[in-house]
């Protein structure tokens, strides 16, 4: 695309301004370099913005409307794909591309230009500003002469691609392990945590069914234990009932029998009796209470005495409690044992599976299948390193192969070149032969001879002689100039005389004519006379002309004759007519007049004749000078011509003679030089024909020197290339050797690294890599296994510790355990101890309570004794008053009555119990049975039963506890939604994780593929772009760096500049200014590369020339002018000195548009 | 006397919602038990309306469910129904057959779980017969209808069946049948399950039966949008009538938002309010999770992809400013126009690199293997079920031509995004 004009209709501070871009240079080689100059604020940046706005669209936030009357409008007349277009852009959301009349355009005429670009990408690609130039130069100087990146930056305008790709890589890595955020790793950990929690909470169908069956089984066991216990307990009660029933019942029966002996007391007054009865009653009550109390006390004392010694276990309450607590903990641990074992099995299975999948047969303990972090890290690093090394080695091998091929090719090329002789000698002779330009001399001499010969020919031709008469003319004796002048004088005078006579005769003829007019009436006589006169005059005129000219003498004579004849004819005819026409009145006058005229005419004719004779004589004299009739000139003029021609001929011949001599000398010299050159040529290996002229030989020599020089250069180049290829091969071979050595080192390091691990030494790296990849899984399984095993071990240890502590305790405390518990599980022993402690504690508390009660009863007895004494004292007064009955009788009577009643009641209760205990219905039967009962047998049976009951009690309690635990666990298996919530949390984490991993995958794959494509791109674009960039760079550096080439570097091909001397210079060693030039050259080449394949806009260079010195700026302009021969280049500048430099550097090859001038 | 019933199916109890991201923490509580809540609402409605029967046409829970608490919960609910006099009738679907969970139904009264051999439950007083048969295995390729009992003459006959009903592509292995065959059976109402979209396949008349899919009560992903519903049916004078009621506590919706004129990311940012309003417009009275799907010019898609999270925040903030019960799931992107047009960065050189990848990268086995190795390395760090997700499995498949992967196309997509990131200009103006 070419911009022909830019129409700033209403845009920024421009109002109706048109910028016209005219090409410079001749029509057949037009140059499209446009320098747009405007001081600051003149709108230079506006121009750049305007072009982008036109091609894309006006940004909504555009500020270019601030100074316009109406809406913004920008347009252009341009040529796109050889088609002229005119289009304008308005600031609108839709239909913003219009024609000059603001009618919307259906198709975008710039589509082919902008296709494939957005605005930013477009500006980046097709324009260069100062900042880009500087950062591009910096990129080069930073040592990043990586060709691929530079070519890419050159074409795309995008710099720093490696950094950007690296950023992408980091972005991908950060997804996995970014700090302080929800990285993928954190999400994975969170998911694993939830999975662990779910596993803990989850109840599988199998677990549920198993637990249900266990609860049922334990319930049945508990029920059985309870039944068994109840049965034994009932039996104990029965036996105990029998034993307990015997003695008290006998005692009660005896007391009851004693009551029969008691008689009735004395009768007293009603009032006294009542009083006595009351007192007796109260006394009886008190005594009864006293008796009861005493009995109770005795019974309690008996009981107290019967209380066995306090169990020594009571002294070890805390120790037993501690043991029980530990035992409880171990019991809980035991409950979780199956789960731990399952975990261990799972972990083992995982490890085994992973090992199977890894195709590993490791004899080592699975729990040791881990690598220390450092070893794993080392191996990972080594494997990564190996991948790099192997890749580098492959590359290096290819490079060596390629370098070797190049060397072979270079050697072949060198071998195929002909030997190059030094053309110095030949050049010296040639130079010497050219010191005098013999050709030019020869040419000049020949030209001079030819010129003289030409003069001779012309001179000879002017006198009607052939050129070969020149020598004759040269030797011919001609009068001198003075003689010719004299002749001329005579001739002039004779001519004047003839002229005068002729004039007179003309007068006479006129007179005769007048007479003739008078005689017209005479008809044809006059006519005849006139004709005759005319004929005579013509003859005379002819004669005169002949005299003045070069008429021959015969011709003059002939004319004169004809004149006389004409006059005679006229006279004759006139006279005949006069005779025949006498009627005319004034015929005589006419005749007289005519006669006078004739007379005068005759006289004049005579004079004329004389004059003519004189003239003839003179002419004869003149003719005498002319040698013969072969000369094509006559008369005086002829003599003069002859004289002139002779002078010319003489001079020319003299010159010709001189030149011929010179020519001969030149020819001779040329022959010598030619012979010398031929000889030198032969010596330089080139035969030349003997007859070849000097110039031919010189040309051949020059050509041969060129050939020899080319050969020499080719040879030198080929040698240099061979050397370079050798060096390259050496370099690459060294690199390969280094890599091979590195690989060998690597093998050693790898062997050492692997030797420190459990991985078999012969495991190939690939498999080690697989192993490392699976290490987390192995580590997790191993950790699980270790945890589970550790827990199991700890359980066992705890159990063992427990048993030891128990044993220690038993030893230390001296507490004996029942024989049946010998060798039993410590838990059972501890349960036993706990129960025994409970019982001892209960007994102890009971004994204490008993003693307290006995003390209390003693107090009561004492109190009652005092009360009874008081009552007795009171009753004694009464008995004394009544005299007869003694108090003791009364008291006895009352007490006997009271006691009888109590005994009867007690007996009734006992009777019932005894009947029941003994299984009889009457007292008699009971008594009979009691007398027959074996009390010792019953006691022995009781001991056996109590042992049974203790055992069953334990069984019942244990099964009850087990049932309770199982039931509680079963009860925990509910329709809880906890797991559902956890799964939902997990799902949310998973969705997020998938998003992140998708991002990771896309970014990582994109980055890898882009890197790959970049390498390809470099290969594809290297040659044409390098060639073009090299050309521009050479121009910009004024030939200091005639070529850009590549050579292998650490990061692939690197760009190197070749100096004119052949020295190669790394681009990062260039000066800052030169690096800017190199970057610009690359951008120009990139632009050219793009522009060859598509419709490209003008290349816009914004203020890039101001930072360089004049020489450099001029050189850059020259390069831009070169580019402008192919494409349109617009340079924006606000420095007037750039215009001055352009004027000097690219005069006539650029156009200037000044924004500070009116349109 | 009228007979009333509720027909539901595909409870998928305790199945998680795939549409919820962590950012929607406020919703997490509701969503965590959404499938239970939906079923809870059905149970409550059954008890409140004192219906006679609750019919469940299969798929009580996901086939992958391993925890019995789901079954225990279901059994509790059915126990509650039984206590209220509601008889629950269940046919097991493919997921149930697949599942290892066996709820403790033995101890539950008022429950009928149909066997694989079809059976009938008769409601004598109202002369209604309910027929059903369960899936024996997770796949039943045969039409099960022929095995169903003949209708009880003079009674209202209801069939419960888990079926893909033939016409639904991708469901062929699930007791396929046709509406015509169902009608020919002579039942009055076919209560179906398996298809998650609620619909009346055929309206009941004198000569033909109702055929109804109640749909999933609670949708779980963006393929199951709209309110979850159940059918309330009544039988009176030998005729069946139905009505629908909503049960799902969380409604999922996708709402298309067309932005054909957007030329840059900023243009899309300016439309956030429009997007938010579309989201609000698509939400129902329940808690809603909405995915706006932006239809934008293809070239904008990769660039928008990079700022999708930012857009999501913007839209969510805008939505929350107007309505509190709506959560924006994510921003969907739909490319309008030619895919080829969607070159990121709009830099021709980058395009050339993209083209190189598209046309030649697939042929470089080393490159493909290197990328595959890298992806494998990352995937191996993930939990197995995550690794198997199609979104992550597909890239790997794409790198394996033997498995039908289009390596070039996939790499091209990846490179476009990378190119967009590198150019850093994606989404700027375009002619």
pLDDT tens, position by position, A868-884: 888 777 766 666 554 55
State the DSSP H helix or E strand holding residue A14, giving kind and residue range, or none if neither: strand A14-20
Contact A993/B377, CB-based, under 8 Å? Answer: no
Residue A835 scores a pLDDT above 90: no
- What does pTM read for this prediction? 0.50
Contact B349/A188, CB-based, under 8 Å? Answer: no
Contact A987/B33, CB-based, under 8 Å? Answer: no
State the DSSP code for A93.
S
- B3-246, superfamily in CATH? Metallo-dependent phosphatases (3.60.21.10)
pLDDT tens digits, residue range A783-823? 788 788 888 888 888 888 888 888 888 888 888 888 887 77
List CB contacts of A822: < 8 A, sequence separation 6 or more: none
- What average pLDDT does this structure show over A755-765? 79
- What average pLDDT does this structure show over A1099-1115? 83
List CB contacts of A821: < 8 A, sequence separation 6 or more: A828, A829, A832
3-state secondary structure of A1067: helix
3-state secondary structure of A239: helix
Residue A198: what are its φ and ψ, rounded to 5°? -65, -45
- What average pLDDT does this structure show over A361-375? 65
Check residues A873 and A336 and name the one with the higher pLDDT: A336
- The pLDDT assigned to A750 comes to 84
Q: What ipTM was estimated for this complex?
A: 0.88
A-contacting residues of B 181-210, CB under 8 Å?
none
Collect all residues of chain B within an 8 Å Cβ-Cβ radius of residue A110. 431
Closest listed residue to residue B324, CA positions, set B269, B272, B283, B294: B283
Alpha-carbon gap, residue A826 to A824, rounded angstroms = 6
- The pLDDT assigned to B369 comes to 86
Contact B352/A981, CB-based, under 8 Å? Answer: no
CB B56 within 8 A of CB A955: no
- What average pLDDT does this structure show over B267-286? 87
Q: What is the dihedral of CA A596, A602, A607, A612, to 10 degrees?
A: 140
Contact A118/B346, CB-based, under 8 Å? Answer: yes
pLDDT tens digits, residue range A162-199? 777 888 888 888 887 766 566 888 889 899 999 999 88
Q: Identify from B270, B289, B349, B351 which residue to disrupt to test chain A contact, counting A C-beta atoms within 10 A and taking the largest count.
A: B349
CB B386 within 8 A of CB A993: yes
Q: How confident is the model at residue B119 (pLDDT cuts 50, 70, 90)?
A: very high
Measure in Å the smallest separation between the Cα of B220 and chain A Cα atoms.
Answer: 11
Check residues A56 and B40 and name the one with the higher pLDDT: B40
Collect all residues of chain A within an 8 Å Cβ-Cβ radius of residue B263. 57
Alpha-carbon gap, residue A573 to A11, rounded angstroms = 107
Alpha-carbon gap, residue A802 to A806, rounded angstroms = 6
The 10 Å CB-count burial string (b at 16+, else e) for B85-99 is: ebbbbbbbbbbbbbb
Contact A975/B33, CB-based, under 8 Å? Answer: no
The 10 Å CB-count burial string (b at 16+, else e) for A843-861 is: beeebeebeebbeebeebb
CB A129 within 8 A of CB A1099: no
- The pLDDT assigned to A878 comes to 60
Contact A205/B101, CB-based, under 8 Å? Answer: yes
Residue A300: what are its φ and ψ, rounded to 5°? -65, -40
pLDDT tens digits, residue range A439-498? 778 788 888 888 888 888 888 887 777 888 788 788 877 777 777 777 778 777 877 887
CB-based contact, A971 to chain B, within 8 Å: no
Closest Cβ–Cβ partner in A161, A986, A1012 for B367: A1012
| Cα angle A711-A713-A714, degrees, rounded to a multiple of 5 | 60
Q: Which two tokens stand for residue A704?
A: 């041969």
- The pLDDT assigned to B340 comes to 46
Contact B353/A983, CB-based, under 8 Å? Answer: no
Helix axes A978-1036, B25-32, angle to 10 degrees: 140
Collect all residues of chain B within an 8 Å Cβ-Cβ radius of residue A106. none
| Cα angle A1020-A1021-A1023, degrees, rounded to a multiple of 5 | 100
- The pLDDT assigned to A269 comes to 52
Closest listed residue to residue A155, CA positions, set A1038, A1020, A1011, A1138: A1020
Q: Identify from A1012, A1082, A1083, A1089 which residue to disrupt to test chain B contact, counting B C-beta atoms within 10 A and taking the largest count.
A: A1012
Closest Cβ–Cβ partner in B22, B347, B411 for A121: B347
Query: Could you tell me which residues are beta bridge partners of residue A31?
Result: A24
Cα A1035 → chain centroid: 32
CB-based contact, B426 to chain A, within 8 Å: yes
Q: Identify from B33, B378, B418, B421 which residue to disrupt to test chain A contact, counting A C-beta atoms within 10 A and taking the largest count.
A: B418
Q: Which two tokens stand for residue A789?
A: 């095993």
CB-based contact, A766 to chain B, within 8 Å: no
- What average pLDDT does this structure show over A606-623? 76
Collect all residues of chain A within an 8 Å Cβ-Cβ radius of residue B357. 1009-1010, 1012-1013
Contact A1009/B413, CB-based, under 8 Å? Answer: no
Residue B393 scores a pLDDT above 50: yes
Closest listed residue to residue A304, CA positions, set A859, A839, A853, A841: A853
Q: How confident is the model at residue A900 (pLDDT cuts 50, 70, 90)?
A: low
Between chain A and chain B, how many beta carbons pairs sit less than 8 Å apart? 263
pLDDT tens digits, residue range A350-360? 888 887 887 77
Closest listed residue to residue A598, CA positions, set A728, A509, A706, A713: A509
Alpha-carbon gap, residue A103 to A568, rounded angstroms = 104
Query: Could you tell me which residues are beta bridge partners of residue A2?
Result: A79
Pairing of strands A1151-1154, B3-8: unpaired
pLDDT tens digits, residue range A249-259? 666 666 556 55
Alpha-carbon gap, residue A80 to A148, rounded angstroms = 31
CB A148 within 8 A of CB A1025: no
State the DSSP code for A616.
H
- The pLDDT assigned to A260 comes to 56
Query: Which pairs with CB-CB distance under 8 Å and at least 24 residues apart come from A520-527?
Result: A521/A581, A521/A584, A522/A577, A522/A578, A522/A581, A522/A584, A522/A587, A523/A577, A523/A581, A524/A577, A525/A573, A525/A574, A525/A576, A525/A577, A525/A578, A525/A580, A525/A581, A526/A577
Tokens 């073009």 locate to A1028
Q: Identify from B14, B76, B353 which residue to disrupt to test chain A contact, counting A C-beta atoms within 10 A and taking the largest count.
A: B353
Phi-psi map region of A464: left, alpha, beta (phi>0 left; psi -120 to 50 alpha)? left
Alpha-carbon gap, residue A746 to A738, rounded angstroms = 12
Collect all residues of chain B within an 8 Å Cβ-Cβ radius of residue A195. 383
CB-based contact, B10 to chain A, within 8 Å: no
Q: Average pLDDT of chain B?
A: 86
Helix axes A978-1036, B365-379, angle to 10 degrees: 150
B-contacting residues of A 32-71, CB under 8 Å?
55-57, 59
Q: Which two tokens stand for residue A822?
A: 């010998």
Span of A171-175, A648-652, A861-865, A930-934 with lowest mean pLDDT: A930-934
Pairing of strands B189-193, B210-213: parallel
CB-based contact, A935 to chain B, within 8 Å: no
Radius of gyration of the CA atoms of chain A, in A: 76
Q: How confident is the model at residue B246 (pLDDT cuts 50, 70, 90)?
A: very high
- The pLDDT assigned to A68 comes to 56
Measure in Å the smallest separation between the Cα of B2 and chain A Cα atoms.
Answer: 34
Measure in Å the smallest separation between the Cα of B117 and chain A Cα atoms.
Answer: 25
Check residues A264 and A727 and name the one with the higher pLDDT: A727
Q: How confident is the model at residue B431 (pLDDT cuts 50, 70, 90)?
A: very low
CB-based contact, A887 to chain B, within 8 Å: no
Closest Cβ–Cβ partner in B350, B392, B414 for A1009: B414
Pairing of strands A127-129, B239-246: unpaired
The 10 Å CB-count burial string (b at 16+, else e) for B385-395 is: ebbebeebeeb
Contact A117/B32, CB-based, under 8 Å? Answer: no
Q: How confident is the model at residue A70 (pLDDT cuts 50, 70, 90)?
A: low
Q: Identify from A159, A394, A984 which residue to disrupt to test chain B contact, counting B C-beta atoms within 10 A and taking the largest count.
A: A984
Span of A220-234, A729-743, B394-408 with lowest mean pLDDT: B394-408
Tokens 């999933």 locate to B216
Taking the CA of residue A332 as centre, how many other CA atoms within 13 Å lie in the half-sphere pointing to its CB?
A: 6
CB-based contact, B270 to chain A, within 8 Å: no
Residue A247 scores a pLDDT above 50: yes
List CB contacts of A1072: < 8 A, sequence separation 6 or more: A137, A141
Tokens 């004492």 locate to A862
Contact B349/A155, CB-based, under 8 Å? Answer: yes
- The pLDDT assigned to A271 comes to 63
Burial of A199 (0-12, 13-18, 19+ CB in 10 A): exposed
Ranges of CATH 3.60.21.10 domains, chain B: 3-246
- The pLDDT assigned to B338 comes to 59
- The pLDDT assigned to B425 comes to 43
Q: How confident is the model at residue B212 (pLDDT cuts 50, 70, 90)?
A: very high
Span of A225-239, A579-593, B318-332 with lowest mean pLDDT: A579-593
CB-based contact, A980 to chain B, within 8 Å: yes
Q: Which two tokens stand for residue A311?
A: 């169990």
Closest Cβ–Cβ partner in B73, B346, B352 for A1017: B352
Check residues A1075 and A367 and name the one with the higher pLDDT: A1075
Tokens 């522009």 locate to A1091
State the DSSP H helix or E strand holding residue B251, giving kind and residue range, or none if neither: strand B250-258
Pairing of strands B53-57, B119-123: unpaired
Contact A974/B74, CB-based, under 8 Å? Answer: no
pLDDT tens digits, residue range A982-1007? 888 898 889 888 888 888 888 888 88
Measure in Å the smallest separation between the Cα of B123 and chain A Cα atoms.
Answer: 30
CB B211 within 8 A of CB B193: no
Measure in Å the smallest separation between the Cα of B94 and chain A Cα atoms.
Answer: 19
Residue A1043: what are its φ and ψ, rounded to 5°? -150, 145
Q: What is the dihedral of CA A1036, A1042, A1044, A1049, to 10 degrees?
A: -120
Collect all residues of chain A within an 8 Å Cβ-Cβ radius of residue B375. 1001, 1004-1005
Pairing of strands B119-123, A83-90: unpaired
**Scanning every residue of chain B, which has its alpha carbon at the shortest distance from the alpha carbon of A997?**
B392
A-contacting residues of B 302-361, CB under 8 Å?
343, 345-354, 356-357, 360-361
């Amino acid at each position: 695309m070419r911009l022909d004009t830019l129409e700033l209709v209403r845009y920024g501070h421009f109002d109706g301004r048109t910028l016209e871009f005219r090409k410079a240079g001749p029509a057949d080689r037009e140059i499209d370099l446009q320098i747009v100059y405007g001081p600051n604020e003149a709108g230079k940046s506006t121009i750049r913005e305007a072009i982008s706005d036109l091609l894309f669209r006006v940004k909504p936030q555009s500020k270019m409307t601030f100074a316009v009357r109406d809406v913004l409008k920008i347009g252009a007349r341009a040529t796109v794909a050889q088609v002229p277009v005119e289009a304008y852009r308005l600031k609108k959301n839709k239909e913003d591309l219009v024609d000059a009349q603001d009618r919307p355009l259906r198709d975008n005429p710039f589509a082919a230009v902008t296709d494939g670009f957005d605005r930013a990408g477009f500006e980046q690609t097709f324009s260069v500003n100062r900042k880009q130039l500087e950062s591009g130069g910096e990129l080069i100087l930073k040592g990043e002469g990586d060709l691929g990146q530079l070519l890419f930056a050159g074409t795309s305008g995008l710099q720093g691609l490696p950094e950007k790709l690296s950023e992408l890589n980091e972005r991908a890595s950060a997804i996995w392990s970014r700090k302080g955020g929800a990285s993928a790793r954190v999400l994975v950990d969170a998911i694993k945590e939830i999975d662990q929690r779910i596993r803990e909470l989850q109840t599988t169908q199998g677990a549920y069914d198993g637990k249900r069956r266990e609860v049922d089984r334990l319930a049945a066991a508990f029920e059985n234990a309870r039944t068994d216990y109840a049965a034994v307990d009932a039996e104990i009660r029965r036996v105990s009932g029998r034993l307990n029933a015997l003695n008290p019942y006998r005692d009660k029966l005896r007391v009851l029998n004693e009551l029969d002996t008691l008689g009735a007391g004395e009768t007293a007054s009603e009032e006294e009796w009542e009083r006595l009865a009351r007192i007796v009653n109260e006394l009886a009550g008190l005594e009864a209470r006293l008796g009861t109390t005493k009995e109770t006390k005795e019974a309690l004392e008996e009981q107290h005495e019967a209380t066995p010694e306090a169990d020594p276990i009571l002294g070890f309450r805390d120790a037993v409690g501690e043991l029980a607590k530990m035992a409880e903990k171990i019991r809980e641990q035991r409950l979780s044992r199956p789960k731990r074992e399952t975990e261990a099995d799972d972990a083992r299975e995982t490890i085994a599976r992973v090992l199977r999948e890894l195709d590993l047969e490791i004899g080592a303990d699975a729990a040791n299948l881990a690598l220390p972090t450092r070893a794993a890290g080392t191996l990972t690093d080594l494997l990564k390193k190996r991948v790099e090394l192997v890749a580098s080695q492959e590359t290096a091998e290819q490079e060596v192969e390629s370098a070797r091929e190049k060397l072979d090719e270079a050697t072949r090329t060198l071998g195929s070149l002909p030997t190059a002789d030094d053309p110095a000698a030949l050049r010296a002779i040639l130079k010497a032969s050219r010191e005098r330009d013999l050709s030019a001399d020869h040419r000049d001499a020949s030209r001079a001879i030819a010129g003289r010969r030409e003069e001779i020919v012309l001179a000879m031709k002017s006198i009607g002689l052939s050129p070969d008469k020149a020598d004759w003319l040269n030797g011919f004796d001609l009068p001198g100039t003075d003689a010719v002048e004299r002749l001329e004088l005579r001739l002039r005078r004779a001519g004047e005389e003839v002229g005068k006579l002729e004039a007179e005769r003309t007068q006479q003829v006129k007179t005769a004519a007048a007479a003739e007019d008078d005689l017209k009436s005479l008809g044809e006589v006059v006519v005849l006379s006139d004709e005759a006169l005319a004929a005579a005059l013509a003859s005379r005129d002819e004669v005169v002309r002949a005299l003045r000219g070069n008429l021959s003498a015969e011709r003059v004579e002939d004319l004169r004759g004809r004149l006389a004849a004409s006059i005679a004819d006229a006279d004759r005819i006139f006279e005949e007519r006069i005779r025949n026409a006498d009627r005319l009145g004034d015929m005589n006058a006419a005749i007289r007049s005519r006669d006078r005229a004739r007379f005068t005419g005759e006289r004049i004719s005579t004079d004329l004749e004389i004059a003519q004779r004189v003239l003839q004589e003179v002419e004869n004299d003149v003719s005498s000078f002319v040698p013969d009739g072969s000369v094509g000139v006559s008369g005086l003029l002829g003599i003069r011509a002859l004289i002139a021609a002779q002078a010319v001929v003489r001079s020319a011949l003299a010159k010709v003679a001189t030149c011929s001599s010179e020519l001969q000398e030149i020819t001779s010299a040329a022959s010598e030089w030619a012979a010398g050159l031929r000889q030198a040529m032969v010596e330089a290996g080139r035969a030349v024909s003997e007859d070849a002229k000097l110039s031919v030989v010189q040309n051949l020599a020059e050509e041969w020197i060129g050939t020899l020089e080319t050969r020499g250069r080719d040879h030198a180049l080929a040698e240099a290339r061979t050397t370079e290829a050798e060096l390259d091969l050496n370099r690459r071979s060294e690199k390969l050797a280094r890599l091979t050595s590195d690989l060998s080192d690597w093998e050693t390091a790898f062997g050492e690294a692997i030797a420190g691990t459990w991985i078999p030494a012969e495991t190939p790296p690939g498999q080690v890599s697989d192993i490392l990849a699976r290490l987390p899984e192995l580590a997790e399984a191993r950790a699980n296994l270790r945890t589970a095993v550790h827990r199991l071990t700890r359980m066992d240890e705890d159990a063992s510790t427990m048993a030891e502590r128990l044993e220690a305790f038993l030893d230390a405390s001296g507490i004996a355990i029942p024989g049946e518990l010998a060798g039993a599980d410590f838990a059972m022993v501890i349960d036993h101890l706990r129960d025994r402690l409970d019982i001892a504690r209960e007994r102890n508390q009971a004994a204490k309570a008993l003693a307290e009660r006995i003390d209390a009863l003693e107090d009561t007895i004492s109190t009652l004794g005092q009360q009874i004494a008081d009552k007795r004292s009171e009753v004694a007064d009464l008995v004394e008053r009544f005299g007869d009955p003694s108090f003791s009788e009364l008291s006895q009577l009352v007490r006997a009555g009271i006691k009888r009643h109590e005994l009867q009641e007690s007996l009734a209760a006992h009777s019932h119990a005894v009947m029941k205990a003994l299984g009889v219905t009457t007292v008699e039967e009971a008594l009979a049975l009691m007398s027959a009962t074996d009390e010792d047998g019953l006691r022995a049976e009781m001991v056996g039963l109590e042992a049974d009951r203790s055992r069953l009690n334990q069984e019942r309690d244990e099964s009850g506890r087990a049932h309770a635990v199982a039931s509680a666990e079963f009860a925990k298996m509910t329709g809880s939604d906890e797991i559902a919530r956890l799964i939902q949390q997990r799902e949310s984490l998973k969705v997020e994780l998938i998003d992140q991993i998708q991002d990771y995958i896309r970014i990582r794959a994109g980055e890898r593929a882009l890197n790959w494509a970049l390498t390809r791109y470099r290969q594809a674009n290297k040659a044409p772009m390098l060639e073009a960039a090299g050309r521009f760079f050479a121009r910009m550096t004024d030939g200091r760096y005639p070529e850009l080439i590549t050579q292998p570097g650490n990061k692939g091909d690197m760009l190197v500049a070749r100096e004119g001397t052949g020295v190669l210079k790394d681009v990062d060693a260039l000066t800052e200014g030169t690096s800017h030039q190199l970057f610009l050259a690359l951008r120009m080449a990139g632009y050219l590369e793009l522009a060859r394949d598509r419709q490209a806009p003008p290349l816009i260079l914004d203020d890039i020339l101001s930072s360089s010195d004049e020489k450099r700026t001029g050189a850059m302009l020259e390069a831009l002018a070169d580019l402008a021969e192919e494409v349109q280049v617009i340079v924006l500048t606000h420095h007037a000195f750039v215009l001055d430099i352009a004027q000097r550097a690219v005069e006539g090859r650029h156009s200037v548009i000044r924004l500070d001038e009116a349109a | 006397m009228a007979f009333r019933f509720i027909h539901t199916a595909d409870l998928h109890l305790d199945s998680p919602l795939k549409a919820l991201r962590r950012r929607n923490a406020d919703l997490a509580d509701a969503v965590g038990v959404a499938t239970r809540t939906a079923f809870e609402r059905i149970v409550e409605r059954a008890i409140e309306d004192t219906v006679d029967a609750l019919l469940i046409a299969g798929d009580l829970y996901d086939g992958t469910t391993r925890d019995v608490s789901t079954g225990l919960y279901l059994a509790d609910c059915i126990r509650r129904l039984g206590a209220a006099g509601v008889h629950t009738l269940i046919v097991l679907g493919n997921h149930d057959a697949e599942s290892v969970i066996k709820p403790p139904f033995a101890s539950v009264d008022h429950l009928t779980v149909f066997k694989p051999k079809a059976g009938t439950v008769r409601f004598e007083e109202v002369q209604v017969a309910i027929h059903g048969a369960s899936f024996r295995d997770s796949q039943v390729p045969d039409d099960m209808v022929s095995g169903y009992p003949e209708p009880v003459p003079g009674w209202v006959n209801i069939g419960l069946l888990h079926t893909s009903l033939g016409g639904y592509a991708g469901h062929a292995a699930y007791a396929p049948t046709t509406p015509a065959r169902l009608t020919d059976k002579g039942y009055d109402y076919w209560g179906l399950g398996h298809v998650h979209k609620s619909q009346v396949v055929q309206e009941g008349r004198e000569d033909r039966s109702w055929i109804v899919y109640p749909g999933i009560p609670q949708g779980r992903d963006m393929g199951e949008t709209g309110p979850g519903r159940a059918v309330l049916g009544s039988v009176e004078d030998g005729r069946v009538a139905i009505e629908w009621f909503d049960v799902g506590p969380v409604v999922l919706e996708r709402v298309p938002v067309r932005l054909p004129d957007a030329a840059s990311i900023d243009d899309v940012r300016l439309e956030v309010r429009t997007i938010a309003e579309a989201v609000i417009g698509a939400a129902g009275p329940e808690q809603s999770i909405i995915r706006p799907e932006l239809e934008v010019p293809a070239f904008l898609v990769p660039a928008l992809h990079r700022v999708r999270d930012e857009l999501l925040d913007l839209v969510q903030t805008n939505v929350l400013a107007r309505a509190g019960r709506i959560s924006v799931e994510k921003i969907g992107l739909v490319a309008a126009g030619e895919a080829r047009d969607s070159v990121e960065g709009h830099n021709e050189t980058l395009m050339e690199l993209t083209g190189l990848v598209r046309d030649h990268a697939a042929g470089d086995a080393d490159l493909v293997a290197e990328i595959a190795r890298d992806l494998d390395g990352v995937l191996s760090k993930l939990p197995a079920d995550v690794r198997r997700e199609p979104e992550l499995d597909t890239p790997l498949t794409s790198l394996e031509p033997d498995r039908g992967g289009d390596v070039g196309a996939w790499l091209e997509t990846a490179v476009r995004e990378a190119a967009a990131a590198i150019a850093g200009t994606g989404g700027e103006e375009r002619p």
